[in-house]
Amino acid sequence: MLQGHQSWKFENRPVIKATATVVGPDEAMGPLVDDFDIVHGDLSLKQDSWEKAEKMLMEEAAKLAIENAGITKEDVQFYVGGDLMNQIISNGFAARTLSIPYIGIFGACSTSMEGLAISSMIVNSGSAKYAMAGTCSHNCTAEKQFRYPTEYGSQKPPTAQYTVTGAGAAVVSRHGKGPVVTGATIGRVVDMGIKDPFNMGAAMAPAAVDTITAHFRDFQREPGYYDLIVTGDLAKVGYDIASELLEKHKIPMHQTTYKDCGMMIYDYDKQSVQVQAGGSGCGCSATVTYGHIMKKLRKGELKRVLVVATGALHSPLSFQQGESIPCIAHAVAIESGEE
């Protein structure tokens, strides 16, 4: 049901019955490696194109999430999925394989929580027994599509982010055990005029702050309600800007722990030359949330988490035409389920 102006409170407590995550070799070198279900040692997944490899990441995560939930794909009534590819083809093709009624969504890297919010709303309202949310990204498909041909080997500034090769899926259920999705805040588009696609963290930070502010207003809460607030994927540059803006807005973030998925997934000491400011892509917040954070919620090491997934809604064409980068963030509250 509606909570405040732009938020939903899920009073029927939809449960994340199971999740699954799949990552590539770069993510396997990071500190969260043990939290992922499937780790691929090569970027191609033995496919003859990177696009097919990305689709396979999504299919593997979706199938494993369904298996982990102890159900069949026929039990899942709606699959809510999206990715960064033009015409979100990774999910279109994965939905063809899955043959589950499909709701295609796009919110750039915020797609992960957009999908979880919609799936939870569907289940909460009694519009499905089971719905599944999924997103994926692949470093090489994103480089090719958004930036330069990968073979070109172009150098990047330290503000740039590194697209995560990974996919995550979550089965949301009306009943059962597991972390509960208790609410969501749908973001507005915020654009502060930044035009540099190699500095998306700076572009997205104000959108994250806008949604966090709206979430606390709508739920009449303070950050201390949560053990952890995690943005995804601002990376180092965006995280610092968001922290500063939250302080300016007098949001008492000192009450909680504030982290960013783009900073959590890689090992800075060893990987910073490659990943620059940190991770990005639909797969980043999805794998960190459905892998790492979900495990901690299940173990009771975290009780209440707010995941604020951020997305840059530009295209290569809008950049070429001189437009700035419109950004958005969607927040989902996940609680351990122990009342």
The binding site for a second copy (CB under 8 A) comprises 1-2, 5-6, 8, 49, 51-52, 77-78, 82, 84-89, 92-93, 95-96, 99-108, 114, 118, 121-122, 124-129, 145, 186-191, 313-318, 321, 323, 326, 328
> How many CB atoms lie under 10 A from the CB of residue 68?
16
Residue 225 CB, nearest approach to a second copy (Å): 21
Instruction: Indicate the residue among 21 and 182 with the shorter CB distance to a second copy.
Output: 182
Instruction: Indicate the residue among 4 and 33 with the shorter CB distance to a second copy.
Output: 4
Residue 325 CB, nearest approach to a second copy (Å): 10
Residue 108 CB, nearest approach to a second copy (Å): 7
Instruction: Indicate the residue among 7 and 21 with the shorter CB distance to a second copy.
Output: 7
Residue 54 CB, nearest approach to a second copy (Å): 11
Query: Cα 339 to the chain's mean position, in Å?
Result: 26
Q: How would you label 76-110 residue by residue, b for 16+ Cβ within 10 Å and e otherwise?
A: bebbbbbbbbeebebbbbbbeebebebbebbbbbb
Instruction: Indicate the residue among 11 and 244 with the shorter CB distance to a second copy.
Output: 11
Quick one: which of 283, 261, 316 has its CA closest to 168?
283
Residue 41 CB, nearest approach to a second copy (Å): 24
- Which DSSP state fits 146? H
Instruction: Indicate the residue among 102 and 240 with the shorter CB distance to a second copy.
Output: 102
Is residue 246 within a helix (H) or strand (E), and if so which, with residue range?
helix 235-248
Quick one: which of 191, 198, 163, 171 has its CA closest to 84?
163
Residue 35 CB, nearest approach to a second copy (Å): 28
Question: What pairs with residue 38 in β-bridges?
Answer: 22
Instruction: Indicate the residue among 273 and 317 with the shorter CB distance to a second copy.
Output: 317
- Sorted by sequence, the CB contacts under 8 Å of residue 149 that are 6+ apart come out as 143
